[in-house]
Amino acid sequence: MEVFQRLEQEDYEQVIYCQDRASGLKAIIVIHDTTLGPALGGARMWNYASEEEALEDALRLAKGMTYKNAAAGLNLGGGKTVIIGDARRDKNEEMFRAYGRYIQGLNGRYITAEDVGTTVEDMDIIYQETDYVTGVSPAFGSSGNPSPMTAYGIYVGMKAAAKEAFGSDDLSGKTIAVQGVGNVAYHLCSHLHEEGAKLVVTDIHQDAVERAVQDFQAEAVDPNDIYDVNADIFSPCALGAILNDETIPRLKAKVVAGSANNQLKENRHGDMLHERGIVYAPDYVINAGGVINVADELHGYNKERAKKKVSGLYDRMTQIFEVAKRDGIPTHQAADRLAEERMEKVKNARNTFLQNEHHILSRRRK
Ligand X SMILES: NC(=O)c1ccc[n+]([C@@H]2O[C@H](COP(=O)([O-])OP(=O)(O)OC[C@H]3O[C@@H](n4cnc5c(N)ncnc54)[C@H](O)[C@@H]3O)[C@@H](O)[C@H]2O)c1
Ligand Y SMILES: CC(C)C[C@H](N)C(=O)O
DSSP 243: B
Question: Under DSSP, is residue 354 helix (H, G, I), strand (E, B) or coil?
Answer: coil
Amino acid at 114: E
Least Å from the CB of residue 60 to ligand Y: 11
CA distances in angstroms from 321 to 167, 174, 292, 315, 325, listed in the order given? 13, 21, 21, 10, 6
- The residue among 100 and 290 lying less far from ligand Y, judged by its C-beta, is 290
Among 169, 182, 193, 210, the residue binding ligand X under the rule CB under 6 A is 182
Residue 309 is among the residues annotated as catalytic for this protein: no
Of the listed pieces 136-144, 169-177, 232-240, 321-329, which binds ligand X according to CB under 6 A? 232-240
- The residue among 122 and 277 lying less far from ligand X, judged by its C-beta, is 122
CA neighbours closer than 13 Å in the CB half-sphere of residue 326: 8
For residue 18, state whether it binds ligand X (rule: CB under 6 A): no
For residue 180, state whether it binds ligand Y (rule: CB under 6 A): no
- The residue among 82 and 272 lying less far from ligand Y, judged by its C-beta, is 82
**Mask 50-69, x = binds ligand Y (CB under 6 A)?**
------------------x-
Phi, psi of 207 (to 5 degrees): -65, -35
Among 31, 237, 306, 338, the residue binding ligand X under the rule CB under 6 A is 237
For residue 42, state whether it binds ligand Y (rule: CB under 6 A): yes
Span 91-150, contacts to ligand X by CB under 6 A: 114-116, 146-147, 150
Residues 137, 120 contacting (CB under 8 angstroms): yes
For residue 220, state whether it binds ligand X (rule: CB under 6 A): no
Strands (E) located in the chain: 14-20, 25-33, 39-40, 43-46, 77-84, 110-111, 175-179, 198-202, 219-220, 233-236, 255-256, 279-280
**Cα-to-chain-centroid distance, residue 88:** 21
Which residue's beta carbon is nearest to the bound ligand X? 182
- The residue among 115 and 124 lying less far from ligand X, judged by its C-beta, is 115
Burial 150-183 (b: 16+ CB within 10 A, else e): bbbbbbbbbbbbbbbbbeebebeebbbbbbbbbb
Of the listed pieces 7-15, 91-99, 203-211, 304-312, which binds ligand X according to CB under 6 A? 203-211
Catalytic residue among 63, 80, 174, 254: 80
Q: How far apart are CA 236 and CA 355, in angstroms?
A: 46
180 contact choice in ligand X, ligand Y, none (CB below 5 to 8 Å, kind-dependent): ligand X
**Cα-to-chain-centroid distance, residue 219:** 26
41 contact choice in ligand X, ligand Y, none (CB below 5 to 8 Å, kind-dependent): ligand Y
Among 58, 70, 95, 238, the residue binding ligand X under the rule CB under 6 A is 238
Chain contacts with ligand X (rule: CB under 6 A):
114-116, 146-147, 150, 179-185, 202-205, 208, 223, 237-239, 259-261, 287, 290
